[in-house]
Amino acid sequence: MTASAAATRAAQTLSRPFTLGGRTVPNRIAMAPMTREFSPGGIPGADVADYYARRAAGGVGLIITEGTYVGHPAAGTSDAVPRFHGADALDGWSRVVEAVHTAGGTIMPQLWHVGMARKEGAPPFPDAPPSGPSGLSLDGTPSGHAMTQRDLDEVIAAFAEAAATAERLGFDGVELHGAHGYLIDQFLWSGTNRRTDAYGGSRTARTRFAAEIVAACRAAVSPDFPVLFRMSQWKMGNYEARLAETPDELQEIVTPLTDAGVTAFHCSTRRYWLPEYEGSDLNLAGWVKKLTGRPTLTVGSVGLDNEFIGTFQGERAGVSGIDRLLDRLERDEFDLVAIGRALLGDPEWAAKILAGRTDALVPFDSSMLRTLN
């Protein structure tokens, strides 16, 4: 295939609009949520608005923000991660929404509670103990507070309030962070959920907390307001962990979430091209779409030649082709593609891909994490 033909193929495949609930995303390219810690006091400033607006102006159809802490004292573990509560923080997010919309993009906040990933005594609320389903860290060590029913109800209400606030501020949907070993995922995973009440035990029971959050958010917003759910098998520091060893087990997890009102699933993998289960080429996003009938987003080292673990070790990531990605997108294995590090290093990555200017793409190195370009 000639360079011209390849560029035409990429443009035709990725430029198609896509409808999520009552919102239309102008193309199939999303910005993946990536924690940046450039919001002092939890308040996103003008630099954060400019950062997201540059990606929208650079051709990204849907921006999913970095994780934002919901209004619960134990939700966070840093005073530089943005919050999604409090007048000052919400004023900042209003300016972010306006900037992204002016640049022609759509935007959703990722709503986040870190659960047992919280460090004892950390900001923004030092007195709040780390909280999770069973008070267990990801390595199984007892190190925090096992949540009571009152705790669960408070967290569910905090997510619902944040979802309603997002719609009021003009966001185009919300994403619930149910991946990577944070609070919602801690309930889904048997390694951290040892409860013996209605929120623990079977795989379906472990899904109850997540489903109740989805249902509460769904009830708090308009019927066509998108509610996305981010999920993963792997956890931070435990890359071999799995929620489901088979498609049948995965069905037990995604069905209650679908029934609760998830609009689309954002399926986080480290390498999007790897099959999730033996006997099929489908990746995690492909399987979830097949099992639920809902739209899915794929993510995982798109456009780069190594995965994010190398980034943390100081390795440089070179530019990589997206032919395999286009193959999968053309056969509707998934519906949208989330780009992470490639967009951190190159705000115009999407525009360059859509225009066939692949020779102008910028490689990624870890120094780019230290600035908000």
Phi and psi (nearest 5°) for 309?
-60, -40
Q: How far is CA 101 from CA 62, 109, 136, 310, in A?
A: 10, 14, 41, 34
Q: Letter for the amino acid at 285?
A: A
Closest of 110, 35, 120, 40 to residue 74, by C-alpha:
120
Q: Letter for the amino acid at 86?
A: G
Dist. CA 373–CA 371, nearest whole Å: 6
At 8, list the tokens. Answer: 């035409």
Answer yes or no: are the C-beta atoms of 7 and 88 closer than 8 Å. Answer: no
Answer yes or no: are the C-beta atoms of 294 and 262 closer than 8 Å. Answer: yes
Dist. CA 94–CA 168, nearest whole Å: 10
Q: Which active-site residues does the annotation give?
A: 182
Cis peptide bond N-terminal to 142, omega within 30: no
Sign, CA torsion 219/165/70/86: negative
Closest of 295, 240, 264, 93 to residue 178, by C-alpha:
264
* CA-based radius of gyration for the chain: 19
Tokens 């609930």 map to which residue? 21
